[in-house]
Structure 1
Amino acid sequence: MVQKCKLSNKQRSRFTTVSLRSSLCKVGVIMALFDQSADGYDSWCKTKSGSFVDDLEKNLMKEVAQPKMGEKALDLGCGTGIYSYWLNKQGLAVTGIDISSGMLNVAKSKHGAENIEFLQGYIEHLPFKDETFDLIISNIVLEFTENPKEVVKEAMRVLKRGGRLVIGFISKDSSWGKMYEEKGKKDANSVFASANFFGVEDINGLHQLQPYKMKFGLFFSMNEFADKNNAMEIEEERRQLKVNSNAGYIVARWDK
């Protein structure tokens, strides 16, 4: 039988301080890794396979998020601004927030940066009033956060009534999730070394509200990519089979 122990106020305070320091230490390590990779972060999207994956993910994100011209949008963990610019080109007023100064410097250096507000800050503690945004998106970001539930909670706080929170995930059970997990194990300096990937059950457990909808994509593995036409044939064929556990990418949407 396990005995329950009661912590004094002093012990509880010390425990909280140690936990906070541990959390901040991990955040600092992850931030440093992203700072180091900032300059080359966009380069993969310019390769044949990378541009195909980027387009596929954006198409799924658009289908689920349904961005509308004139809406006020927040890009959580905006990185180099890939999705911030994508939303802005569709006529949305966009704010991007990220903890990595290196990533933000790259984002701010791009053409059209004057149309987007980029902020440095913790996405677990957003510097915005309640019900500020019509649409909040975050693509492959929660994998690198210390407390993903807190991120979702904060996002729902600053989301307007009737707004949409849309998050893209790498599926942990897919060939993509396993590939990135293996990269993290082999290279301690990889951004994937501290990543935690998600399955459908994990996503359902992020908030008391269940996602309004989920969409699945990336049904081909990286080593199957020969060219865009070949990859699309595989993608469409396997998507029709609806074996969602094989999908490498999941987009989930919560409505408020």
Structure 2
Amino acid sequence: MGNFNWAEESSRLWDEKSNFWNSRSQEMWENGSRKEIIPFFQKFVDEQAMVCDLGCGDGYGSLKLAQSGYAVTGVDFSEEMVHKATLLNSENNSKFIKGDMAELPFSENQFDAAMAINSLEWTEHPLKVLKEIQRIVNPGGKACIGILGPTAAPRVNSYRRLYGEQVVCNTMMPWEFEQLATENHWRKISEFGVYKRESEQLPTGSLSSSIRQAISFMWVFMLENIKE
């Protein structure tokens, strides 16, 4: 346990998962759990804005952003993911780099907005990442952040921590992230939930935000950087 290196383990894990992820990402963004994210993003971020896609994976989300008129720079811990993202986006001007979300190689206020979908849970220090996002996004800029909800199957990746094992999935509830963001100079301006089919039968519109978050598969926030 003493030799556990989060960065190395995370990079190795996602290199190994790259083919599996690549086989599923198009369906998620086109018809699945992520299909509403880009339309949601467009409501708050002007076309042609400079956007940083953090934890970009194989770059399908970046492709959707580019097709919507944004100038995209993607970052991922996995060399394999960056390679796939570059190939997928070969016909647009998006750029991709291997990097640590907690130590981004960008200048202050370089971007108009950031997107991080289900990637903060895979960082060792989510608060440090949130502050890095704030550093690279200009004041008044936006951050679209998706957090896995309690019903999301990927949470099994963090289960072994209960046996004292080191894991690279930093389980975080949507309401915990919301509080973390609010306490650190971000203002929530909108949000929406994604649910499993079983939950779609429930009258979610009549439930409180906390209850809706509690039964969600994913919760997507739109935040504004209010740090001066």
Q: Is the shorter-chain TM-score for this pair beyond 0.5, marking a shared fold?
A: yes
Where does residue 215 of structure 1 map in the other structure? Answer: 191
Q: Distance in 2 between matches of 1:90 and 1:145?
A: 28
When structure 1 is superposed on structure 2, of 136-145 and 49-58 the one drifting more is 49-58
Where does residue 220 of structure 2 map in the other structure? Answer: 251
Where does residue 170 of structure 2 map in the other structure? Answer: 196
Where does residue 180 of structure 2 map in the other structure? Answer: 205
| 3-state SS of paired residue (2:45) | coil
Residue by residue, what CA displacement relative to the aligned partner does 1:195-239 show, whole Å, maximum 9, x if unpaired?
123221343124522532342322325xx4xxxxxx9xx27x533
Q: Distance in 2 between matches of 1:49 and 1:92?
A: 17
Give how far 1:77 is off: 1.4
More strand by share: 2
Where does residue 32 of structure 2 map in the other structure? Answer: 52
Where does residue 168 of structure 1 map in the other structure? Answer: 146
Residue by residue, what CA displacement relative to the aligned partner does 1:148-204 show, whole Å, maximum 9, x if unpaired?
101110110111122112211102xx322xx32235548xxxxxx531232213431
Q: Distance in 1 between matches of 2:28 and 2:79?
A: 28
| 3-state SS of paired residue (1:213) | strand
Where does residue 4 of structure 1 map in the other structure? Answer: none
More helix by share: 1
Give how far 1:45 is off: 3.7
Q: Which has the larger radius of gyration?
A: 1
Q: Distance in 2 between matches of 1:99 and 1:182?
A: 21
Residue 157 in 1 paired to residue 135 in 2? Answer: yes
Q: Which of 12, 15, 18 lines up with 1:32 in the alignment?
A: 12
Where does residue 163 of structure 2 map in the other structure? Answer: none
Q: Gapped runs of 5+ residues in structure 2?
A: 161-166
Where does residue 238 of structure 1 map in the other structure? Answer: 203
How do residues 69-148 of structure 1 correspond to structure 2 at under 5 angstroms?
69-148=47-126
Give how far 1:241 is off: 2.6
Q: Distance in 2 between matches of 1:46 and 1:94?
A: 18
| 3-state SS of paired residue (1:212) | strand
Where does residue 189 of structure 1 map in the other structure? Answer: none
Q: Gapped runs of 5+ residues in structure 1?
A: 1-18, 187-192, 225-230
Structure 2 length normalisation: TM-score? 0.81
